[in-house]
Structure 1
């Protein structure tokens, strides 16, 4: 198990009136593989923070975990959301590198440029995902000692939030035991699949309240949501995943194909007629992973980026194993992890929940529902607090979000954003990052 390193682009230093300024254009970056198990290879990509007045040692380190499972953080999160360049290779004005170093990782193994040599090695549950990530983080902090004392946060999106909760708890325990040396400060769960059932049960009411379902449609969605609830109550999680796919089809039929990631954007899923085997899983994969591997990003990652990285094996295609990653996690997919969030709060770890107003797949109503189920002793005090309006700048008069926090728990309601908050509302996402990492109030 070891870190392979390649490629580093260093910021230009300018001398102006005796003051060293860093030109925020080309951040220093390194990347490599960690063998998290024998024949299981995890790809990572680190960008050092790129701020004109602060060294990277004065800013936090953020680990970004993408969703799916099977969507690539090194691809999608990097080039579509928070990295220094967009997929046209143009600088991103709202890159998080202004406020943090970013560590992207393609997990679970098989995602993005990560790969397994044997199909039996795909992760099949959260425990396996967390175990692999702990091996990776152990190697990372051992090799990159400059980050051992820098405040470290895990930010996540979608299924990545479920993984983030599990990783955060295990990392906290490892730091307490002294087996990993890092300054772990907290986790941020963005549009996160923490309680699949609470999300599903809120789909009907949310769509109805936004005029995307009529009474008949609401009745149909409610009926299939009850089927999912019954399956989960009987611990039939594989069946619940199948029914989840059925529920999405019912919604599409009743809403003229609403986009699950942003209800104001139209998108029609494609399923090839020859894919009859595991049809429900194929549909789910097409909706929730394949959309993050669209042709332009696919061409970028398998073309120029692959050439730049120089360490991707010839046999590995970016995203080539992502469907298997998703299908291997199907049994685990609908399991809730509210109890893990409770354990994080009990351990006094900072937990932030943020959600996009226009997201359907993990709508805000569903997030609020599972939060009400927390056993956290301070929940009542948190609930009583009034939220505060947030603006992207002091000059702005448009409400960008609402925010509420108590002790070690915070919630951001991000307006005009769908499932991918940084892609839809980049300025507000950057402001949120600064607030969570205590650089701004």
Structure 2
């Protein structure tokens, strides 16, 4: 097998021949069901004195398109303290799963994926000093801009490629702040939009709707509803008084009240239940340790930690001896408690006003960031397009695996879209019924029907490009508005990009006018 590991000026990379049938990760030999053909790169960036952030890039691995013809997606995990290089990569969207087996629904089939362990102290990122952690999303965004400046300077081939940020949970709060900084033009990149998945944008709206949501789904009785609402009101009062650290502590109390009245409902999927040992508080445990155990430790399972601190660490070859994957995660969370409950709705408003493409997608069965709470803060946006968005009726989307069965609803207006994902929980892997694998939607908005008939045969029947198209499944799918194979869709993507570039050259529009949403659909 042709395989090598080398170090270049811009970091480490590993390339495997398309003919390879065996993937070596350190000394571990694995028989793969299909060849691993992709190129990878990884490195550290010192973002502040003593503060080092780790990134890991997978180049798009398509049989019919070059990586330069496909988007670049940066994935941000939640927590704060959850690792994209670990959890997001091996548990959700990366090319290999936790058992190092190929994932046939990996996003790498449709885009280059950049995992960043963010904030400092997350995953393989680390700080050399106790005061090196970020304490708010402004610091998080500042650190990320330093990393992205290095990344796009050293890998200039990505500067013109559409660049999207996808996020999950608290990652969405960080993604919003990072996106706003990118609009200032200090990073040379083609920033094309941000997707906020079950994101902690307005924490108090989430907490205030826990009671009504659980009550309407028969998980609270009248007494429980009163208890949960009372606990939520205490959180709301602290937020209104700008006492955000106290609000975080009261948020922990509210979660305990929910657990006691629902017999341990899972905050990430209401159709499942937390085990007794996870709900049981340890003697003398403070609220930071409790919430770390509830929301950060699940992102660091024993099997994933063994993988990251074993064969993956050895494969990467650049992790300092004194750094353990996930070893500073609690420090990340504890240093952000004063900012945790602070809303960033105003940041989303600024993004929309600046013309940034913003997409929200939320799982129906998520409790911690329930859809009811998301809808509340969206209705308070000051964006001038909100009245037009509110007038729209939502549109159903079929589950591709079961034609005729609705899998989601969506509304989109100008540069804003909202997807209601049915039978989905908080995280991509925590779904009650695995009846639909990860799907990727490419939504072309600004261009309307301008390119109808100007692309290749596989999509010539499409009446409009203002419809979602599915990517990333290695078999023929039933999609809206027609069924296409993966190769046909990638041909469509390449042809559409060429067409758009031709129009840009003709009429002088900038590439940033090309709006593409890549939405997870994992229900």
Please, what TM-score do these two structures have when normalized by structure 1?
Answer: 0.92
**After the TM superposition, which residues 264-283 of structure 1 pair with which residues of structure 2 at under 5 Å, given as runs?**
264-268=271-275, 270=278, 276=284, 279-283=286-290
1:275-300 deviation digits (Å, cap 9, x = unpaired): 625x1111111111101101111111
- Whether 1:171 aligns to 2:177 is no
Change in 2 beyond 3 A, CA 1:183/1:221? same
**After the TM superposition, which residues 172-187 of structure 1 pair with which residues of structure 2 at under 5 Å, given as runs?**
172-173=183-184, 175=185, 179-187=186-194
Look up the SS of the partner of 2:14 in the other structure. coil
Shift of 1:387: 1.1
**After the TM superposition, which residues 130-145 of structure 1 pair with which residues of structure 2 at under 5 Å, given as runs?**
130-145=141-156
**After the TM superposition, which residues 208-247 of structure 1 pair with which residues of structure 2 at under 5 Å, given as runs?**
208-247=215-254
- Whether 1:401 aligns to 2:408 is yes
Look up the SS of the partner of 1:265 in the other structure. strand
- Distance, in Å, in 1 between the alignment partners of 2:150 and 2:112 is 18
Look up the SS of the partner of 1:9 in the other structure. strand
Q: Is the 8 A contact 1:44 1:74 kept in 2?
A: yes
1:345-380 deviation digits (Å, cap 9, x = unpaired): 000000000001110000000000110010011111
- Distance, in Å, in 1 between the alignment partners of 2:340 and 2:187 is 28
- Distance, in Å, in 1 between the alignment partners of 2:84 and 2:53 is 12
Q: Is the 8 A contact 1:358 1:419 kept in 2?
A: yes
Shift of 1:4: 5.5
Q: Is the 8 A contact 1:10 1:29 kept in 2?
A: no
1:114-149 deviation digits (Å, cap 9, x = unpaired): 000001100001111010000001000000011000
Shift of 1:437: 2.8
- Whether 1:203 aligns to 2:210 is yes
- Whether 1:54 aligns to 2:133 is no
Q: 1:369 aligns with which of 366, 376, 383?
A: 376
Q: 1:99 aligns with which of 98, 110, 118?
A: 110
**Aligned residue number for residue 497 of structure 2:** none
- Distance, in Å, in 1 between the alignment partners of 2:93 and 2:173 is 20
Q: 1:292 aligns with which of 290, 296, 299?
A: 299
Q: Is the 8 A contact 2:164 2:192 kept in 1?
A: yes
- Whether 1:126 aligns to 2:144 is no
**Aligned residue number for residue 193 of structure 1:** 200
Between Structure 1 and Structure 2, whose CA radius of gyration is higher?
A: 2
**Aligned residue number for residue 416 of structure 1:** 423
**Aligned residue number for residue 147 of structure 1:** 158
Runs of 5+ unmatched residues, structure 2: 1-7, 21-33, 444-467, 469-514
- Whether 1:9 aligns to 2:15 is yes
Point out the structure with the larger helix share.
1
Point out the structure with the larger strand share.
2
Q: 1:108 aligns with which of 106, 110, 119?
A: 119
Q: Is the 8 A contact 2:259 2:279 kept in 1?
A: no
Which stretch of structure 1 is more off in the superposition, 288-297 or 394-403?
A: 394-403
Structure ranking higher on relative contact order (CA contacts 8 Å, 6+ apart): 1
- Whether 1:437 aligns to 2:521 is no
**After the TM superposition, which residues 312-327 of structure 1 pair with which residues of structure 2 at under 5 Å, given as runs?**
312-327=319-334
Q: Is the 8 A contact 1:82 1:422 kept in 2?
A: no
Aligned length: 426
1:332-356 deviation digits (Å, cap 9, x = unpaired): 0000000000000000000000001
- Distance, in Å, in 2 between the alignment partners of 1:344 and 1:131 is 17
- Distance, in Å, in 1 between the alignment partners of 2:412 and 2:282 is 50
Q: Is the 8 A contact 2:73 2:166 kept in 1?
A: yes
- Distance, in Å, in 1 between the alignment partners of 2:280 and 2:402 is 50
1:141-184 deviation digits (Å, cap 9, x = unpaired): 000011000000000000000000000010111x2xxx321100
- Distance, in Å, in 2 between the alignment partners of 1:366 and 1:428 is 26
Change in 2 beyond 3 A, CA 1:317/1:236? same
Shift of 1:399: 1.4
Q: 2:396 aligns with which of 377, 381, 389?
A: 389
**Aligned residue number for residue 19 of structure 1:** none
1:308-343 deviation digits (Å, cap 9, x = unpaired): 111111101100000010000000000000000000
Q: Is the 8 A contact 2:107 2:440 kept in 1?
A: no
Look up the SS of the partner of 1:416 in the other structure. coil
Shift of 1:45: 0.3
Look up the SS of the partner of 2:406 in the other structure. coil
- Distance, in Å, in 2 between the alignment partners of 1:375 and 1:13 is 54
Q: Is the 8 A contact 2:57 2:113 kept in 1?
A: yes
- Distance, in Å, in 2 between the alignment partners of 1:399 and 1:310 is 46
Q: Is the 8 A contact 2:441 2:518 kept in 1?
A: no
**After the TM superposition, which residues 339-358 of structure 1 pair with which residues of structure 2 at under 5 Å, given as runs?**
339-358=346-365
- Distance, in Å, in 2 between the alignment partners of 1:217 and 1:270 is 21
